[in-house]
Chain A
Amino acid sequence: MADHLLEVQDLSVTFHTVRGPVNAVRNVSWHLDRGEVLAILGESGSGKSVSASAVMDLIDIPPGEIASGRILFEGRDLLTMSHDERRRINGKRIAMIFQDPLSHLNPVYSVGWQIEETMVIHGTSRADAQRETVALLRKVGIPDPEGAAVKYPHQFSGGQRQRLMIAMALALRPDVLIADEPTTALDVTVQAQILGLLEQLQAETGMGLLIITHDLGVVAEMADRVVVMNAGEIVETGSATDVYRNPQHPYTQKLIAAAPGQGDMSHGVPEQEPLLRLTGVKKNYGAFTALNGISFDLMAGETLAVVGESGSGKSTMAKVLLQLEEASGGQAEYKGRDLLTLSPKELFEMRRDIQMVFQDPTQSLNPRMSVYQLISEAWVIHRDILPKDRWKARVAELLEQVGLLAEHMHRYPHQFSGGQRQRIAIARALALEPRIIVCDEAVSALDVSIQAQVIELLDKLRHELGLSYIFIAHDLPVVRDFADRVIVMQAGEIVEQGSVRQIFEAPRMRYTQDLLAASLDPDPEVQAARRNSRLEIAQ
């Protein structure tokens, strides 16, 4: 058997918790060679990051325990080495970058110092390290590298921070780079840039690249081979194209089928008088213009998607519409009245009709309230909706409507999974019998298969109850499957709006075209074709 650069053999990791031992991964084996990109694909809780943590000696023992297995790096077992020996490998031979670079960079030291540190602890002199740092910053595309080195992490944008992490990891030209969800919190165009940078650097250095991700699109874009994990075990291994074209395991098949962006696009709702009409809505924060004249219509029963990158004003628009923030100008006409200039009493009445579902149900549901309390609170505030003796029956009805059980009403949010919590949040919004629901990134934090289920639920409720949705999202494939019409926002303005077909098949504006081009397709061959066309354009 030929030696691989990095090889995990039969690894099992157990965490000893107060509720007993939890097997994080069981009998996991994979290998990585020089110049190769391996992806570990899995949903949350699948154990996809655990073997990488074991490689980096990041598992705390106790409560963790490596129950079995070997991790061979150039033929030597890392698990039998001392911590000192492993420390000499970490950062120098094997390096790692993480999701959420802001929290993974130390906030109180300059980024230059942090990059230098990697080199200094492995024996480079401080002066050499300083020179090298500037070169690295230039290489990863940070503007003004000399000036950037003395700045602190909070002074950079999300994409730049990930570039800084990459510079730090690649400082000593490691043989292996492990990237744990490197682009998950980033905008699509920034994601494309970061993945492009990783590809380019890998080609230059010939290192082995291990990418841990939940995103089929990232696998399609980057990986030569893929390892699919579910519930702590590897269910399938193969080349990225084979696994996508011909998945063997039922879990893989389910995962690929759930990937958004493959369904039929909507034909839109029939022409009619709009339910809600925004004209020239503005919002300023001091001298900063967050919304610069937003105008659109929303029809009854329609799903209107609002897409755009972070800072484009999507969420500000929702807040202004719900009067959580006061508009600086413009009108929002609903049932013949301007929502933006209502008296407090009228506003109270109107609030029923427009409800909101937020991104993170863990934060938007009060952990100290039972499901019954969470849902019925709406009727405590709006007293005339339902007499108290009918509350229980109605909560049960709503829970069943969102696919939960009536007996769930006495439980608390922490007893549910992320997808179930989002269902509770939807039931809570439905309690007031609204006409419009604003979903602010409501499915972004969910795993792909759960995401598909929640979208299905939203779609069902729309038909049953005649709801309209304002669906704020950054994930274009989800929008493509779910929306009737799409608004594209950039820097507080609407750059383009139209039917979902028009936006996805014939985008007119350059910005929309860029967004679509940066979005990743789960099909490796489609991604390869896009990459080639990008290269041709570049040449």
Chain B
Amino acid sequence: MRSFLTKRAYASLISLLFLIVAVFFLSRLTGDPTNLYLPVDASLDSRERFRALHGLDDPLILQFGRYLADLAVLDFGDSIRRSQPALDVVLEAFKWTLALAAITMTIVTITAIVIGSLAAFRVGGLFDRTATFFSLIGASAPDFWIAIVAIVLFSVNLGWLPTSGTGTVWHWIMPIGVLFIRPFGLILQVVRGAMITALGSAYVKTARAKGVASRPIIFVHALRNAMLPVITVIGDQAAAILNGAVVVETIFGFPGVGKLMIDSILQRDFAVVLATIMVTAFAIFVMNLLIDLAYAVLDPRIRY
């Protein structure tokens, strides 16, 4: 187990390093922040001072070296825009995204597993066909479109829900609702497929011969076996939200990492862009570890 963890950590560290290199240099291609933060008629002198202040006057490779050196002591640099440590800015936004992802994925997981399992129990029945129909629509619907339609319908026309912000419970309903749809459709399909396999397996036949009732056959015997592929997809989908549900957060003005990332790219706030990437990368690393742990908990044949 420990060697597995170490190996994982090293592999992740190496990919993270590649990512930092790519993002560091690519983001510089968007232009000089000086042009954005100082007025068009700012003097050459004040431009020089701004550059010196933010370390933008050194050769790029030197800036990169300095960044890595700071990073080694967990200094992620400062946000130009907000004049505070980039990490603080990102963690503040991450808190919101984490809450959004956790709530959404909990609801998605429970509903998709229950509905998918029941659909698999009577393949081709009315319940199965209805569930499959809606999950396929859900899995293929573009979220930006749903988000806008939802705003038009529930906020503008009906006036039931606020369009943006996080102030009350009501503010959360639409972002969660929109983020729910696609993972729900995908996970339901995977649950259904895996459950059809599990319910057709020999050990389910044994359970029936023992006299086990239908509900424990579905939720005790078959489900735990069917969970392995499902967990992988749950992890993927959760990671996608953690990674920044960019479109949905932007449309609903939700102050999460997705919105922060877009804003800081537009604002050429390089330190924040990089910090966002590292924080989400770490979150996904932890996420994957949790998935691997869940594998081992669910299936005694898997040991690391």
In the complex, identify which listed stretch (A23-31, A85-93, A190-198, A221-229) lies at the interface while the others stay far away: A85-93
CA of A88 to CA of B203, assembled, Å = 19
With beta carbons under 8 angstroms apart, the residue of A88, A104, A117 that contacts B202 is A104
- Contact indicator A107/B299 (Cβ below 8 Å): yes
With beta carbons under 8 angstroms apart, the residue of A105, A152, A154 that contacts B203 is A105
Q: What's the minimum C-beta distance from A414 to chain B, rounded to whole angstroms?
A: 20
- Contact indicator A103/B213 (Cβ below 8 Å): no
**B 180-236 contacts with A by CB, 8 A:** 201-203, 205-213, 216, 221, 224-225
- Contact indicator A117/B212 (Cβ below 8 Å): yes
Cβ-based interface call for B167 (8 A): no
- Contact indicator A121/B211 (Cβ below 8 Å): yes
Q: Mark A53-82, 1 if CB is under 8 A from B, else 0.
A: 000111000000000000000000000000
- Chain A residues near B202 (CB, 8 Å)? 98, 100, 103-104
Cβ-based interface call for B42 (8 A): no
CA of A90 to CA of B203, assembled, Å = 15
- Contact indicator B203/A92 (Cβ below 8 Å): no
Q: A58-B205, A98-B206, A100-B202 are in contact. Are A106 and B211 (CB under 8 A)?
A: no
Q: What's the minimum C-beta distance from A508 to chain B, rounded to whole angstroms?
A: 42
- Contact indicator B203/A107 (Cβ below 8 Å): yes
Q: What's the minimum C-beta distance from A183 to chain B, rounded to whole angstroms?
A: 17
Q: Which residue of B lies closest to A168 (CB)?
A: B210
CA of A105 to CA of B207, assembled, Å = 9
With beta carbons under 8 angstroms apart, the residue of A90, A100, A103, A165 that contacts B211 is A90
- Chain B residues near A57 (CB, 8 Å)? 208
CA of A107 to CA of B302, assembled, Å = 11
- Chain A residues near B300 (CB, 8 Å)? 107-108, 110, 152, 154
Q: A98-B206, A104-B205, A107-B225 are in contact. Are A152 and B301 (CB under 8 A)?
A: yes
- Chain B residues near A92 (CB, 8 Å)? 211
- Contact indicator A122/B211 (Cβ below 8 Å): yes
- Contact indicator B208/A108 (Cβ below 8 Å): no
- Contact indicator A91/B299 (Cβ below 8 Å): no
Cβ-based interface call for B173 (8 A): no
Q: What's the minimum C-beta distance from A96 to chain B, rounded to whole angstroms?
A: 4
- Contact indicator B205/A106 (Cβ below 8 Å): no
- Chain A residues near B221 (CB, 8 Å)? 106
Most central of B212, B224, B298 by chain A CB within 10 Å: B212
Q: A103-B202, A152-B300, A152-B301 are in contact. Are A108 and B209 (CB under 8 A)?
A: no
CA of A89 to CA of B211, assembled, Å = 7
**B 39-87 contacts with A by CB, 8 A:** none
- Contact indicator B206/A106 (Cβ below 8 Å): yes
Q: A103-B201, A106-B225, A108-B298 are in contact. Are A121 and B213 (CB under 8 A)?
A: yes
Most central of B202, B208, B210, B224 by chain A CB within 10 Å: B210
CA of A108 to CA of B210, assembled, Å = 17
- Chain B residues near A104 (CB, 8 Å)? 202-203, 205-206
- Contact indicator B212/A121 (Cβ below 8 Å): yes
- Chain A residues near B216 (CB, 8 Å)? 121
CA of A103 to CA of B224, assembled, Å = 15
With beta carbons under 8 angstroms apart, the residue of A58, A88, A109 that contacts B209 is A58
**A 239-259 contacts with B by CB, 8 A:** none
Q: What's the minimum C-beta distance from A3 to chain B, rounded to whole angstroms?
A: 23
- Contact indicator A90/B209 (Cβ below 8 Å): yes
CA of A491 to CA of B73, assembled, Å = 58
- Chain B residues near A108 (CB, 8 Å)? 224-225, 298-300
CA of A56 to CA of B209, assembled, Å = 6
CA of A385 to CA of B26, assembled, Å = 59
- Contact indicator A103/B203 (Cβ below 8 Å): yes
Q: Which residue of B lies closest to A118 (CB)?
A: B210
- Contact indicator B225/A154 (Cβ below 8 Å): no
- Contact indicator A91/B301 (Cβ below 8 Å): no
Q: Which residue of B lies closest to A155 (CB)?
A: B300
- Contact indicator B205/A98 (Cβ below 8 Å): yes
CA of A56 to CA of B207, assembled, Å = 11
Cβ-based interface call for A129 (8 A): no
- Chain A residues near B206 (CB, 8 Å)? 96, 98, 104-106, 165, 168
Cβ-based interface call for A470 (8 A): no
CA of A89 to CA of B299, assembled, Å = 31
- Chain A residues near B203 (CB, 8 Å)? 103-107
- Chain B residues near A154 (CB, 8 Å)? 300-301
12 A-B pairs in the complex with CB atoms less than 8 angstroms apart: A56-B208, A58-B208, A88-B211, A103-B203, A107-B225, A107-B300, A108-B225, A117-B207, A117-B212, A121-B216, A152-B301, A168-B210
- Chain A interface residues (CB < 8 Å from chain B): 56-58, 87-92, 95-96, 98, 100, 103-110, 117-118, 121-122, 152, 154, 165, 168
- Chain B interface residues (CB < 8 Å from chain A): 201-203, 205-213, 216, 221, 224-225, 298-301
Query: Given A87-B213, A98-B206, A117-B212, list of 5 further CB < 8 A pairs?
Result: A90-B208, A91-B209, A108-B225, A117-B210, A121-B213
In the A-B complex, list the 8 residue pairs whose CB atoms are closest, starting with the nearest. Answer: A91-B211, A90-B211, A91-B210, A103-B202, A106-B203, A152-B300, A96-B209, A104-B202
